[in-house]
Amino acid sequence: MLSVVGIGPGAQDLLTERARARISSADVIMGNERYIELIKDTIPGSAEVIIGRMGTEVDRAKKAVELGKHKNKNVVVVSGGDAGIYGMAGLIIEVMGDSDSGIASKLDREIDMEIVPGITAASASAALLGAPLSNDFAVVSLSDLLVPWSEIEKKLEGLAKMDITIVIYNPKSKTRTAQLEKAYELLMRFRNANTVVGIVRNAEREGCEVVITTLKDLPGYYHRIDMSTTIIIGCSGTRKLGARMVTRRGYERKYDYERGDVNEEDEGIAVSPAPAAGCGYVDAGNRVWEKSKAIVRDIVSKYQGSLSLSDLEKRVAGRVVFANADPSFLDLLVFKHHPVETGIRCIKNGKMIITDIEMVKAGINKRYSKKVQCFVNAPETIEIAKREKLTRTAAGIRLAKEKRLIHGNIVIIGNSPSACQEVCALVEKGGASEEQKPALVVATPVGFVNAAEMKEKVLSMGNIPCIVIRGPRGGTPSAVAIINEIIEIAHR
């Protein structure tokens, strides 16, 4: 009886029951030193242990087949992980086929052979990282000892062009280092540099290390990558959520749930742009989204306007230019009293965001949506509007004040000049007690009536941090762009 047994990544409790049973009843056990060491406690004292070296696999496979012909001898060949994944199982079947002029079935009858599956490095590493293999993935070995590099490179290139997670086995050895560097160059050519990458060394073994990084930062970890390392290159659906790496399965398209997520338009850590429907192929030349971001970065860096912007302000300004596809917003944006830093602090401290209209609320990054409130449609708002002869949006701000939700929070006016006026009035009336002072005001109301005037008023509102788009232009997209950039910076 010949059993080809996958012993899993290393941890004793990840050895399957069947694998343990085969090993503990073995008369002869074959494997390389490392694997034998990992299961030494399970090997019976009576078993003959045959240790093989790298490069002697064919001889070992032949010997195993030969010994396995003895009906009353339990011969066990062990492979790390799963014996059928870059392991001994395939070779043993080939050797069996060979020894019988290619007719494996006859030999099958002669020798009782079974393959016992094990937990492969991809599963073990994925579990340590989170769930990066929740969607389609491909596995590639970078070892060119048996396969010519040109063939490996061709497969890698095909996969790099596809929007699919790639698991890399055999990334690097002491003598084989160039392959990983070449693979990196190839991936960088076709994938977003911010793609999430997971690196797991010695999964489920002593010396286990787990790293989540991005594709562009992968070279910084080369020195920690060796033959006991598995690398998982995410795809556009892969995210880093907290300390975990996860690839979306698609539930988010069908169901509404809290994702701790970034908006589709966000510059999330992982994302290349979602491929066009039915395309499933991210071509470097077609990366409209990335190109657009690069153009915006270029525009902002070359901006020669009268105001000098800090790096953080440039990011926010760039986001407004991006959202509107209009560089002239750089001349209209005003940042007063370190508003970006203040906004970041507010977000980090979980402060509320009050918006003038529902559309602004709807556009705010989903990861912060629980903290956003808009009162324009509240029943009390309508009462206030009637009683005080205010617009509904202004009454919404008044209600927020009555609920004591203005003080210390972020107020975003993306649409309504009258809501803007209400904010200014509150601040003026707040006076010495400062009990109605917002921490930050983002004012981008739009229109020819009163919008420009109200925004100037915001700018003259004492020392309250504010971000304003001067003149009649602005609107919801600009307001949302500003706050979403701040939220993203705060979360990084």
- What residue ranges bind ligand SAH (CB under 6 A)? 9-10, 79-82, 85-87, 120-121, 125, 169-171, 200, 202-205, 227-230
Question: Shortest distance, CB of residue 164 to ligand SAH, whole angstroms?
Answer: 18
Q: Give the nearer residue to ligand SAH in terms of CB position, either 92 or 480.
A: 92
Element (H, E) at 284: none
**42 vs 36: CA distance, rounded Å:** 10
Q: How far apart are CA 462 and CA 428, in angstroms?
A: 9
Q: In whole angstroms, how close is the CB of 358 to ligand SAH at the nearest point? A: 49
Nearest to 337 by CA among 317, 303, 313, 319: 313
Residue nearest to ligand SAH (CB): 81
**What is the nearest approach in angstroms of ligand SAH to the Cβ of residue 86?**
4
Cβ closest to ligand SAH, residue 85 vs residue 420: 85
Q: What are the residues facing 2 on neighbouring strands?
A: 75, 113
- Which helix H or strand E contains 400, and what residues bound it? helix 392-402
**∠ CA 66-71-76, rounded to 5°:** 60
Which of 202/324 has CB closer to ligand SAH?
A: 202
**CB-CB contact of 119 with 8 (8 Å):** yes
* β-bridge partners, 162: 281
- Residue matched to tokens 């409130």: 373
Question: Shortest gap between Cβ of 99 and ligand SAH (angstroms)?
Answer: 23
Q: What are phi and psi of 193, to 5 degrees?
A: -65, -20
CB of 301 to ligand SAH, least distance (A): 40
DSSP 434: T
**Minimum Å distance from CB 122 to ligand SAH?**
7
Ramachandran category for residue 350: left, alpha or beta (phi over 0 → left; psi -120 to 50 → alpha): left
Q: How far apart are CB 50 and ligand SAH at their closest, in Å?
A: 19
Query: Cβ 246 to ligand SAH, closest distance in Å?
Result: 19
Q: Give CA separation, 342 vs 115, 439, 442, 475, 485, in Å.
A: 61, 7, 12, 22, 13
Residue with smaller CB distance to ligand SAH, 32 or 42: 32
Measured from the CB atom, the residue of 204 and 422 that comes closer to ligand SAH is 204
**Distance (Å, rounded) from C-alpha 482 to C-alpha 222?**
37
Q: Please, which residue, 140 or 300, has the CB nearer to ligand SAH?
A: 140
Q: Is 433 exposed, middle or buried (0-12, 13-18, 19+ CB in 10 A)?
A: exposed
Q: Which is nearer to ligand SAH, 9 or 430 (CB)?
A: 9
CB of 42 to ligand SAH, least distance (A): 17
Q: Which amino acid is at 82?
A: D
Structure tokens at 326: 């209009």
- Based on CB atoms, which residue is closest to ligand SAH, 86 or 190? 86
Residue among 125 and 484 whose Cβ is closer to ligand SAH: 125
Q: How far is the CB of 167 from ligand SAH (least distance, A)?
A: 9
The contacts of residue 309 (CB under 8 Å, 6+ apart) are 300, 303, 317, 335
Which residue number, 123 or 272, has a Cβ lying nearer to ligand SAH?
A: 123
Residue 45: CB atoms within 10 Å: 4
**Closer of 83 and 394 to ligand SAH (Cβ):** 83
The whole-angstrom separation of Cα 203 and Cα 87 is 17
SS3 325: coil
Query: Torsion over CA of 252, 256, 260 and 265, rounded to 10 degrees?
Result: 60
Task: State in angstroms the smallest separation of the CB of 177 from ligand SAH.
Answer: 13
Least distance CB 128 / ligand SAH (angstroms):
9
Nearest residue to 409 via CA among 372, 376, 358, 384: 372
Q: Which is nearer to ligand SAH, 211 or 397 (CB)?
A: 211
Measured from the CB of residue 228, what is the shortest distance to ligand SAH in angstroms? Answer: 5
CA distance 141 to 225: 14
Q: How many whole angstroms separate alpha carbon 432 and alpha carbon 444?
A: 27
Choice between 231 and 271, CB closer to ligand SAH: 231
* 472 SS3 class: coil
Among residues 79, 88, 90, which one has the least CA distance to residue 118?
Answer: 79
The single residue listed with the structure tokens 């950039």 is: 485
